[in-house]
Each structure stands twice: as C-alpha cells, then as structure tokens.
Amino acid sequence: MFRRIVLAGCMAALASTALAQANPPKPVARADFQKSVDNRFNAIDTNHDGFISKQEMAAEEQRALQQLTQARNQKMQAEFKQLDTNHDGQLSVQEFMAAAPQIKINETPEQALQALDTNHDGKLSADEFRAPQMAKFNKADLNHDGVVTPDELRKVQGQK
C-alpha cells in the first residue's frame, strides 16, 4: 500500500506539474518535477521534521482513500442519475438494460471474406479459413514443439 501511495504521489506530482504548465501537456523539466515531489513530501510531513513517520504515512493513506472514495462516489452517483431516466431514484431493469452498449460487428461479411480469401475466388476453403489461426498458433508456439503451453501464451501476450 505504501508503494501505491508513493507512486500515486509521484504521479500526482507529475500530473500537477504538467497541468500547471497549461493544456495540452508539455514536457516537464526535472527541476519542476522534483519541486512537485518535494511539495508532496512536505504535505505528508505534517510535523515538518524532515521525515515521514508511520503515523504521517497512515494519515496520508487515509486522506488518499477518502479522496478516492469521494471521487468514486461522485462518479457513481452521476452515472446512476444518467441511468435513472425517469428520475425516481431507482433503476428498473429496463433503465439498466437501456444503458448496455450496443453490440456491433466490426466488419461486413464481404470484408471478412475479402480478408481471408487469398485466392480471390469469392469463397473460403478450409485452408484459407485455417491459415490465419494456425499462423497465430505457430507464433505462440515459441519452442516449435507443436504445443502452446500457458507459459508460452503468457509470454506472447506480454504477461510475465
């Protein structure tokens, strides 16, 4: 949790420095970034002894949690009000379902066929249908043993 608070503080420092320099964001000079980080440190060091104690860190965590909770609650209330189209303070199934995103197809059947139909005869053979998927499999089979293990899949997907 401490690392998240420190990281959040650093990100807040970077964001506040960037915002202070006007929109759109511009490059942030190291000195400006350090000044922002130092200001954040000084805000947490409430007794101004030059150190952050466990109590000061706990107090900062509480402040951060309160701010995040308040922001989340405001966002959720705004979203609820948007969904509550008859403004009765309750969501009906109809109101809830009306907010569901529409399901859309990304490409027409003609576009899909054109992308896969490598010999351009207007129809897909089993080989044409299979080829892109097998290429993905072969790419994931890092050791080329004919088996994609969960470890290989994680590596291909950029996970550790």
The pLDDT value given to residue 70: 96
Q: What is the DSSP string of 2-38?
A: HHHHHHHHHHHHHHHHHHHT-SSP----HHHHHHHHH
Cα separation values, 100 from 75, 79, 87, 148, Å: 17, 13, 18, 36
What are the residues whose beta carbons fall under 8 Å from the beta carbon of 154, sequence distance 6 or more?
160
Q: How confident is the model at residue 104 (pLDDT cuts 50, 70, 90)?
A: confident
Q: How confident is the model at residue 103 (pLDDT cuts 50, 70, 90)?
A: confident
Distance separating alpha carbons of residues 64 and 106, to the nearest angstrom = 41
Helix axes 54-83, 2-20, angle to 10 degrees: 70
Residues 113, 124 contacting (CB under 8 angstroms): yes
Counting residues of the chain whose pLDDT is more than 70, the rounded percentage is 85
Among 22-26, 105-109, 121-125, which is the least confidently predicted range?
22-26
Domain residue spans in the chain? 2-98, 109-156
For residue range 44-102, what is the model confidence (pLDDT) as tens digits? Answer: 999 999 999 999 999 999 999 999 999 999 999 999 999 999 999 999 999 999 988 88
Radius of gyration of the chain (CA): 27
The pLDDT value given to residue 21: 47
pTM for the full predicted model: 0.47
Average pLDDT over residues 5-9: 50
Rounded to the nearest 5 degrees, what angle is found at the Cα of 34, between the Cα atoms of 29 and 36?
100
